[in-house]
């Protein structure tokens, strides 16, 4: 038997064994507590130890890894995980993600993996269509919405400075004309971080007041944008991280257009409303923006990490991102697609494959169904919890986000709400976390997974109400 054949047999056995471990994990999810079960100290003692000096059998490494990390995993691909805005995983996307690692293509350049480049090209076109974006938009597949903001706002930066006669790529920001960024007061923090990374600094933001749902006030934007001249970028939001609310994108697009400003939309999860006939009205006007940031690892239920930056001005995106070197083999202009022309990475995982597989397996109708089911579950949470005395739903549930406050007979509603959140987390039936919304502590429920069923929702509601009736202080696992 040749060494190659032996190696092939070993890897087949290893991957088969790993498939078993993966399936064991997924099959156990419905019965497993939704949160983690051990603290960091326990995990360190399981995983730590001196740097290994010698090789180990891969079977043993993988079996030990799976066993050691299991109690520190959270059941986020399961049906009763409602924390942050964490999507589940569609089976085809998980399987394609495995193959992405096995194929190990460097997706930066077409020549490093033509199939990866073409799958990504196809997936990007499908995504733009699903999200109702103009044909021909530029796109880059990045790690998540954070880097999608960086990519899209880099294109914005290039474009608005170019309009002011300044080549920011070459000359940088020192001595550059000033640019204003106008963004809703309830914008996501990743917008600020992108501005920091891009050298604008968060101080350049003019915060525009938002209403009780977190929607930017268009009249306030109109006034603020008219208060000065010069290049401007407006950052609007489709889907507030707490309430799920949508800015009035059509009105904001009018204002940005009149002022000649670049309009960027943070649509991390909310832009997916465009893929659902029942919710599409929420994003009316979004197609008029100049750039968009969205996640596939949220509502498309692609495994981490997977975000997309879209830009209505491909030339600005390429000018901001493109890179050339003599040792590389670049695609001819107008020919094949080199991903490094569209995103800030150089070498990169071929994350187009799982996106492609998710869209192919769900199809347009499956994606609409996923969005609509999650929203229906969110409404069910709001209706059931909201009708209980001393439980208040704080937001208009227009999408998949629900904010719930638990009133304390003694009057300390914040502390009581936090105690309920803590108790629900330690109960383990479901997992969710808290936030401060307009000065009030609230439980956040985000329904973002294809795995969530009506039974999961009913079980979770029962667990929330059971623990709310007598919240026990929990033994904190950090
Ligand atoms: C509205 C919004 N924007 C941006 C982000 C950041 O997304 P990511 O964690 O994928 O970078 C989130 C995350 O929840 C979000 O809800």
The structure tokens listed for 61 are 């490494």
Query: Over the range 209-248, which residues count as b (16 or more CB within 10 Å of their CB) and which as e?
Result: ebeebbbbbbebbbebbeeeeebbbbbbbbbbbbbbbbbb
Nearest to residue 47, comparing CAs of 64, 71, 23? 64
Among 140, 141, 146, 432, residue to substitute to test ligand 1 (most atoms within 8 Å of Cβ): 146
DSSP string, 408-423: -TTS-HHHHHHHHHHH
Model pLDDT, residue 251 = 98
The tens digit of pLDDT for each residue in 417-455 reads: 999 999 999 999 999 999 999 999 999 999 999 999 999
Average pLDDT score, the chain: 96
Q: Determine contact, residues 352/124, Cβ cutoff 8 Å.
A: yes
Answer whether 268 contacts ligand 1 (Cβ < 6 A).
Answer: yes
Among 241, 264, 265, 271, residue to substitute to test ligand 1 (most atoms within 8 Å of Cβ): 241
Report how far residue 100's alpha carbon sits from residue 236's, in angstroms, rounded to the nearest whole number.
34
Q: Determine contact, residues 320/169, Cβ cutoff 8 Å.
A: yes
Q: Residue 212 above 90 pLDDT?
A: yes
Report how far residue 442's alpha carbon sits from residue 433's, in angstroms, rounded to the nearest whole number.
9
CA of 241 to the centre of ligand 1 (A): 7
Can you tell me which atom of ligand 1 is nearest the CA of 295?
10
Model pLDDT, residue 333 = 82
Q: Residue 476 above 80 pLDDT?
A: no
Report how far residue 309's alpha carbon sits from residue 245's, in angstroms, rounded to the nearest whole number.
21
Answer whether 144 contacts ligand 1 (Cβ < 6 A).
Answer: yes
pLDDT band at residue 10 using 50, 70 and 90 as cut-offs: confident
Instruction: Pick the residue whose CA is nearest to atom 2 on ligand 1.
Output: 268
Can you tell me which atom of ligand 1 is nearest the CA of 239?
1
Model pLDDT, residue 6 = 61
Q: What is the mean pLDDT of residues 53-79?
A: 97
Q: Determine contact, residues 232/224, Cβ cutoff 8 Å.
A: no
Answer whether 264 contacts ligand 1 (Cβ < 6 A).
Answer: no
Answer whether 306 contacts ligand 1 (Cβ < 6 A).
Answer: no
Query: Over the range 333-369, which residues count as b (16 or more CB within 10 Å of their CB) and which as e?
Result: eeeebbbbbbbbbeebbbbbbbbbbbbeebeeebbbe
Q: Residue 473 above 60 pLDDT?
A: no
φ/ψ of 409, rounded to 5, equals -55, -30
Nearest to residue 243, comparing CAs of 378, 88, 118, 147? 378
pLDDT band at residue 9 using 50, 70 and 90 as cut-offs: low
Answer whether 307 contacts ligand 1 (Cβ < 6 A).
Answer: yes
Answer whether 179 contacts ligand 1 (Cβ < 6 A).
Answer: no
Classified as helix, coil or strand, 178 is coil
- DSSP-derived pairing of the beta strands 307-311 and 391-393: unpaired
- Percent of the chain surpassing pLDDT 90: 95
Residue 401: strand pairing partners: 446
Cβ-proximal residues to 62 (8 Å cutoff; 6+ apart), any chain: 14, 17, 18, 21
Can you tell me which atom of ligand 1 is nearest the CA of 267?
1
Angle at 168 between CA 201 and CA 133, to 5 degrees: 80
The tens digit of pLDDT for each residue in 152-200 reads: 999 999 999 999 999 999 999 999 999 999 999 999 999 999 999 999 9
CA of 340 to the centre of ligand 1 (A): 23
Q: What is the pTM of this model?
A: 0.96
Cβ-proximal residues to 424 (8 Å cutoff; 6+ apart), any chain: 430, 431, 432, 443, 463, 464, 467, 468
Query: Over the range 424-435, which residues count as b (16 or more CB within 10 Å of their CB) and which as e?
Result: bbbbbbbbbebb
Report how far residue 146's alpha carbon sits from residue 359's, in angstroms, rounded to the nearest whole number.
22
Model pLDDT, residue 334 = 83
Q: Determine contact, residues 414/450, Cβ cutoff 8 Å.
A: no
Q: What is the mean pLDDT of residues 54-78?
A: 97
The tens digit of pLDDT for each residue in 251-304 reads: 999 999 999 999 999 999 999 999 999 999 999 999 999 999 999 999 999 999
């Amino acid at each position: 038997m040749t060494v190659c054949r032996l190696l092939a047999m070993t890897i087949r056995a290893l991957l088969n064994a790993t498939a078993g471990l993966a399936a064991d994990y997924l099959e156990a999810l419905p019965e497993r507590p939704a949160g983690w079960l051990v603290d960091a100290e326990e995990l360190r003692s399981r995983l730590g130890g001196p740097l290994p000096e010698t090789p180990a059998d891969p079977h043993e490494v993988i079996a030990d890894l799976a066993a050691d990390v299991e109690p520190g995993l959270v059941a986020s691909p399961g049906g009763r995980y409602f924390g942050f805005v964490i999507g589940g995983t569609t089976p085809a996307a998980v399987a394609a993600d495995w193959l992405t690692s096995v194929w190990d293509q460097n997706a930066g350049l077409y020549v490093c993996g033509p199939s990866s480049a073409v799958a990504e090209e196809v997936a990007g076109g499908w995504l733009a269509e699903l999200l109702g974006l103009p044909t021909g938009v530029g796109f880059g597949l990045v790690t998540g919405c954070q880097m999608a903001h960086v990519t899209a706002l880099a294109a914005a930066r290039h474009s608005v400075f170019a309009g002011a006669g300044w080549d920011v790529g070459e000359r940088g920001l020192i001595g550059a004309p000033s640019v204003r960024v106008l963004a809703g007061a309830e914008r996501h923090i990743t917008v600020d971080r992108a501005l920091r990374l891009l050298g604008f600094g968060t101080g350049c933001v003019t915060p525009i007041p938002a209403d009780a749902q977190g929607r930017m006030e268009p009249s306030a934007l109109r006034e603020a944008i008219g208060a000065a001249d010069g290049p401007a970028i407006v950052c609007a939001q489709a889907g507030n991280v707490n309430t799920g609310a949508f800015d009035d994108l059509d009105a904001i697009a009018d204002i940005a257009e009149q002022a000649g400003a670049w309009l960027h939309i943070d649509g991390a999860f909310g832009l997916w409303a465009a893929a659902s006939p029942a919710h599409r009205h929420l994003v009316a006007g979004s197609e008029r923006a100049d750039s968009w940031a969205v996640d596939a690892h949220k509502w498309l239920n692609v495994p981490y990490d997977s975000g997309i930056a879209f830009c209505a001005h491909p030339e600005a995106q390429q000018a901001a991102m493109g890179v050339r070197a003599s040792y590389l083999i670049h695609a001819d202009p107008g020919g094949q697609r080199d991903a490094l022309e569209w995103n800030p990475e150089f070498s990169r995982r071929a994350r187009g494959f799982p996106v492609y597989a998710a869209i192919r397996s769900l199809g347009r109708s499956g994606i609409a169904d996923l969005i609509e089911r999650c929203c229906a579950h969110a409404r069910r949470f709001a209706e059931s919890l909201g009708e209980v005395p001393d439980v208040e739903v704080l937001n208009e549930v227009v999408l998949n986000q629900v904010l719930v406050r638990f009133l304390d007979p003694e009057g300390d509603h914040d502390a009581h709400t936090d105690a309920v959140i803590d108790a629900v987390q330690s109960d383990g039936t479901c997992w969710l976390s808290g936030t401060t919304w307009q000065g009030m502590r609230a439980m956040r429920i985000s329904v973002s997974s294809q795995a969530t069923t009506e039974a999961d929702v009913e079980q979770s509601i029962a667990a929330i109400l059971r623990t709310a009736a007598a919240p026990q202080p929990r033994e904190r696992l950090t």
